[in-house]
Structure 1
Amino acid sequence: MQQNPQRDDLGCPEFAVLVTAEQAWPAFERAVLQARTEITASFRLFDLSTGLLSAEARETGDTWADLIAAALRRGVNVRLVVSDFDPVMAAPLHAAAQRTLDQAREIRDGLAPEEAARLSVTAALHPARAGILPRLAFSPFVLRKLRKLPRRLRPSAAETGLPQLYPVSHHQKVAVVDRETLYIGGLDQNRRRYDTPDHDQPAFKTWADVQLLLRGPEAEEAAAHLDCFLEDVAQRRTPLEGRHIRRTLSVPRRAGFWALSPKTVLREIEEDHLAAFASAKRLIYLETQFLRSSVIARGLAGAARRNPDLSLILILPALPEDVAFDGNQELDARYGMALQAEALETVNAAFGSRACIASPVQRRMAARDAPSTLAGSPMIYLHSKALITDRDFALVGSANLNGRSMRWDTEAALRITRQDRIARLWQALARHWWQEDLPAAALEPGSAADWWQQEIQRNQVRRPEARRGLLVPHDPDRMAELQQPLPGATEDIV
């Protein structure tokens, strides 16, 4: 499935497109094995008990803890920042961050003191807090959530008063080895994220994602970002504009007793999306977990109205993960669904028949109708965050097309302008969904959307096992009864 990457004389990819964990994790493991001096990384989640996949890495042991310990023993400095989370509103994620800290302590316990000293693992809680007014406004929801938590997950401070609200997190997924090799995209490191490009497992285990591995000046720039982003969000320095690495960064508001939101200081990823839409001539291609941002939707619509030759291919999951697999019908899920329905309506109204909007499903019949099915088949959960316009521009990273990723959370993405790299990315993403080499009409910017649209429409009426590829039309009205607009609420919260 993976396109053959170019390699340098060290055996490390010059530029590799890695679709799903089956491709990404072994490549990441090999990069860590090649580290000589330092590994620095920041992930939303990083479970050090995750099993190793590559034969080379498995010579060090069974898990990422073993791989990291081996790097420390050979003199490599390892610095990992995982996101910490609101201990009430995101208690399971907060617990996951604490588990990573516990795993790091276990690694140190098995090492000599000088080896253990090379390991730094931090669970970083974004410093932005909700002001007193939104804390009071959300208090019924927060206290209800608190009461439902098992006692072992309840923060001790919450027993005596209204908990603080920490609405922002570090959502990026990026690692740099020796300031020379960059690993960046949408994929965290834990068992839930494992999947293969065939997605031949139960729907609730599927996870379509894209990660890039490359060498070049982009790695040094990413390392500089990782060195400083905690200082940036704490307002101890002013971040510089990124050239290759584009970011979202926010900081706490001063005297923000009225504010739920942080203050955005960098929105480079949003700016790059809007600029790319405006300059696109024939095709905009997007893979995204969410399309909830009204700014992004209006940017797409404006580009469509200005250019009648412009078409769109948009790949979305059939439903949000928590709705499809966990039955979540809480207000946050309902509001997110309403925002996406509104954004899709804006985009469809502007593009009309020039928009091909699809969702991935497995090529088999579902045992029963359920939220996790679409067109009679189990859905494939899509988590990728990728943009390509024509053959000129691409962006791959951690940011979804929602206000939270565009304005609040710490995000990182790679800007790509080299046409050979854009071509390799486009071919890898297209081949992933169609599971075959494609004709020129399916890849040319001027004809791709029409070709994809026709085949996707045919897939809707084909038997699942007879479908071409993995895509069927997206259904924006699926479970529409759950959609709940919240007039006056910021869209950035979800």
Structure 2
Amino acid sequence: MPASPPDFEVFVAANEAFAAFEKAVLDARTSITGGFRIFDMRTRLVSDDARAIGETWFDLLVHVLRRGVTLDLTISDFDPIYATELHQLAWATVKQGAALVEAADVPQDRVHVRPALHPATPGMVPWLAFLPVSLRRAKAQRAALKNAARAEAPGVDQGIPGLHTVTHHQKLAVIDDDTLYIGGLDLNDRRFDTPDHDRPAHETWSDVQVIVRNDPVVAEAKQHLQCFDDVVHGRQPPAEVTHLRRTLSADRRFKLPFLSPRTLVSELEEAHLKAITAARHLIYIETQFIRSRVIADALARAATDRPDLSLIMILPAAPEEAAFDAPDELGLETRYGLALEKDALGLIRDGFGKRATIATPVRPVMAARDTPGTRAGSPIIYVHNKVLVQDTDFAMVGSANLNGRSLRWDTEAGVAITDPARIAILRDAVHQHWWRTQLSGEWTDPQQMQPIWQAEIARNDKCHPEKRTGFLVSHDLQTHSAEAQPLPLVTDDMV
């Protein structure tokens, strides 16, 4: 008999994660339940077993549906005026779901692919403040979309535009009742990359996803997927969980002056704060954004209170828009995010001083020219990871960034890891990814590793790219300072 798959696996890029997800779906016996921000069934298959069936996820799902498996998939919908392309993607996936029924020749009740638009909307005061901009954008979008595209974006033709500032940002699936796939990866070809990141900077995508089997968190995740839409609509309270960590919000009962929703559950923020408070030697973070003043303040306080505590943080050199768009094309939201990140990193650096290593990955080659997508003379590797490791005691992987939106507004999900063996597997995987080799000894000891990493990263900053160790160089805290735009009257949770 073939060996049973391990109960905990870590994947540091989509080629590994997608292949594992394909295998889990191929092995499904009864059901696939998922919730994703993006799930494009045109995504190309990567594993040999899946490619023996077809070329895309549509082919894979047709195959398992014909075997008797059921599919229940919730796709995030978006504001049709302010996020038109994402709104179109959501409804394209809904149409793909309808096509699945016909192609697999199965009963309609075996396939549920539904869009979920978060119900929270701003109060009258902010809605009126945004209305002139909303009307202009609505007019422009309606003029820009051809008839066929208009059909793929049904919300664009609504009357007076609403304003939806909150979304579902989670990325997880439960196969049968025993396997959980969870982390930061959506499903489309843009997310595809390999651990070598040997591709142009704008095509790189570092992310972390885990598979957990035969664990109580699997049942909690399935219950969450089945109930979260009712929770955010106020039809039922959030369920009690032990291993899953979530962010959930709902519309305010009294919202006249408010842009923000009402936070129902902020377990992901609470878990980060608890880990920061409990840390003795090292806090290790990989994140797409660090914009939360709450998290930055907690890190700075911990650094002041515990002189033996150190920090290693891996960030992208810049947000995706700032890295790959021209500076004069950056929207106000991106500029505000840059300002928040600059402030947060300043607080953290002031607190930790030399005990903080803040790094960013780059490819070990020379860049053709100096652009926003380069750092230390090399093309950047875009970081979308969402990982926390506290000493050797606690870890978390999920969909939430360290910004107010992820920790207070959007629907997010992550798994809390307390088993020492699983924490070691996660640490080894993410460390090995960045250094491109198996690490041991003082390089992985929470009491010793930060200054060792710092010294090697400082060496990488100065040497020829092809002579660097691994991918990491120092993060430039002043990157895009000129484009940063503080907005004093706007909530930090907006971005």
Query: 8 Å contact 1:12–1:31 — kept in the other structure?
Result: no
Distance 1:375 1:190 in 2: 30
Distance 1:143 1:469 in 2: 49
- Using the TM superposition, give the Cα deviation of residue 162 of structure 1 relative to its aligned residue in structure 2, in angstroms: 3.9
60-69 or 414-423, which deviates more: 60-69
- Is 1:33 the counterpart of 2:26? The answer is yes
- Is 1:48 the counterpart of 2:41? The answer is yes
Distance 2:180 2:159 in 1: 44
310-319 or 125-134, which deviates more: 125-134
Residue of structure 1 equivalent to 2:62: 69
Equivalence map 1:314-393=2 (5 Å):
314-327=313-326, 328-393=329-394
- Using the TM superposition, give the Cα deviation of residue 202 of structure 1 relative to its aligned residue in structure 2, in angstroms: 0.4
- Is 1:126 the counterpart of 2:125? The answer is no
92-101 or 143-152, which deviates more: 143-152
Query: 8 Å contact 1:173–1:398 — kept in the other structure?
Result: yes
- Using the TM superposition, give the Cα deviation of residue 488 of structure 1 relative to its aligned residue in structure 2, in angstroms: 1.5
Equivalence map 1:404-443=2 (5 Å):
404-443=405-444
Distance 1:144 1:463 in 2: 49
Distance 1:83 1:10 in 2: 37
Distance 2:355 2:63 in 1: 52
Distance 2:131 2:368 in 1: 41
Distance 1:220 1:179 in 2: 7
Residue of structure 1 equivalent to 2:285: 286
- Is 1:261 the counterpart of 2:256? The answer is no
- Using the TM superposition, give the Cα deviation of residue 174 of structure 1 relative to its aligned residue in structure 2, in angstroms: 0.5
Letter in 2 for 1:203: A
- Using the TM superposition, give the Cα deviation of residue 59 of structure 1 relative to its aligned residue in structure 2, in angstroms: 2.2
| Cα distance change, pair 160–108 in 1 and its aligned pair in 2 (3 A) | closer
Distance 1:383 1:319 in 2: 11
Cα-to-partner distance string for 1:48-75 (whole Å, 9 max, x where unaligned): 0101111111222111111111111111
Choose from 190, 198, 201 the match for 2:199: 201
- Using the TM superposition, give the Cα deviation of residue 109 of structure 1 relative to its aligned residue in structure 2, in angstroms: 1.8
- Using the TM superposition, give the Cα deviation of residue 206 of structure 1 relative to its aligned residue in structure 2, in angstroms: 0.2
324-333 or 458-467, which deviates more: 324-333
Query: 8 Å contact 1:321–1:381 — kept in the other structure?
Result: yes
Distance 1:158 1:32 in 2: 34
RMSD: 1.5
Match of 2:365, SS? coil
Distance 2:84 2:338 in 1: 22
Distance 2:33 2:132 in 1: 40
- Using the TM superposition, give the Cα deviation of residue 322 of structure 1 relative to its aligned residue in structure 2, in angstroms: 1.1
Cα-to-partner distance string for 1:69-95 (whole Å, 9 max, x where unaligned): 111111111101110000011111101
Letter in 1 for 2:261: P
Match of 1:299, SS? helix
Query: 8 Å contact 1:174–1:182 — kept in the other structure?
Result: yes
Equivalence map 1:172-187=2 (5 Å):
172-187=170-185
- Using the TM superposition, give the Cα deviation of residue 217 of structure 1 relative to its aligned residue in structure 2, in angstroms: 1.6
- Using the TM superposition, give the Cα deviation of residue 309 of structure 1 relative to its aligned residue in structure 2, in angstroms: 0.3
Distance 1:329 1:424 in 2: 39
Match of 1:420, SS? helix
Letter in 2 for 1:367: A
Query: 8 Å contact 2:80–2:156 — kept in the other structure?
Result: no
Match of 1:16, SS? strand
- Is 1:151 the counterpart of 2:150? The answer is no
Equivalence map 1:214-225=2 (5 Å):
214-215=212-213, 216-225=215-224
Distance 1:147 1:10 in 2: 59
Query: 8 Å contact 2:24–2:175 — kept in the other structure?
Result: yes
Letter in 2 for 1:166: H
Choose from 210, 213, 218 the match for 1:212: 210
- Using the TM superposition, give the Cα deviation of residue 140 of structure 1 relative to its aligned residue in structure 2, in angstroms: 3.9
Distance 2:490 2:276 in 1: 27
Letter in 1 for 2:242: R
| Cα distance change, pair 255–37 in 1 and its aligned pair in 2 (3 A) | same
| Cα distance change, pair 370–146 in 1 and its aligned pair in 2 (3 A) | farther
Distance 1:22 1:304 in 2: 37
Choose from 52, 59, 65 the match for 1:59: 52
Distance 1:408 1:96 in 2: 22
Distance 1:267 1:242 in 2: 12
- Is 1:139 the counterpart of 2:142? The answer is no
| Cα distance change, pair 143–369 in 1 and its aligned pair in 2 (3 A) | farther
Residue of structure 2 equivalent to 1:239: 238
Residue of structure 1 equivalent to 2:6: 13
- Using the TM superposition, give the Cα deviation of residue 9 of structure 1 relative to its aligned residue in structure 2, in angstroms: 6.4
- Using the TM superposition, give the Cα deviation of residue 158 of structure 1 relative to its aligned residue in structure 2, in angstroms: 6.1
Query: 8 Å contact 1:86–1:165 — kept in the other structure?
Result: yes
Equivalence map 1:297-316=2 (5 Å):
297-316=296-315
136-145 or 295-304, which deviates more: 136-145
Match of 2:81, SS? coil
Query: 8 Å contact 2:63–2:104 — kept in the other structure?
Result: no
Query: 8 Å contact 1:20–1:194 — kept in the other structure?
Result: yes
- Using the TM superposition, give the Cα deviation of residue 431 of structure 1 relative to its aligned residue in structure 2, in angstroms: 0.4
307-316 or 222-231, which deviates more: 222-231
| Cα distance change, pair 9–393 in 1 and its aligned pair in 2 (3 A) | farther
Letter in 1 for 2:202: F
Equivalence map 1:70-109=2 (5 Å):
70-109=63-102
| Cα distance change, pair 159–73 in 1 and its aligned pair in 2 (3 A) | closer
- Using the TM superposition, give the Cα deviation of residue 135 of structure 1 relative to its aligned residue in structure 2, in angstroms: 1.3
Match of 1:346, SS? helix
Distance 2:226 2:190 in 1: 28
Distance 2:361 2:234 in 1: 41
Distance 1:46 1:158 in 2: 21
Give me the TM-score of the superposition, normalised by structure 1. 0.96
Distance 2:462 2:265 in 1: 45
Give me the TM-score of the superposition, normalised by structure 2. 0.96
Query: 8 Å contact 2:290–2:345 — kept in the other structure?
Result: yes
- Using the TM superposition, give the Cα deviation of residue 385 of structure 1 relative to its aligned residue in structure 2, in angstroms: 0.1
20-29 or 233-242, which deviates more: 233-242
- Using the TM superposition, give the Cα deviation of residue 145 of structure 1 relative to its aligned residue in structure 2, in angstroms: 3.3
Match of 1:472, SS? strand
Query: 8 Å contact 2:193–2:204 — kept in the other structure?
Result: yes
- Using the TM superposition, give the Cα deviation of residue 378 of structure 1 relative to its aligned residue in structure 2, in angstroms: 0.5
Distance 2:429 2:487 in 1: 39
Choose from 183, 189, 209 the match for 1:191: 189
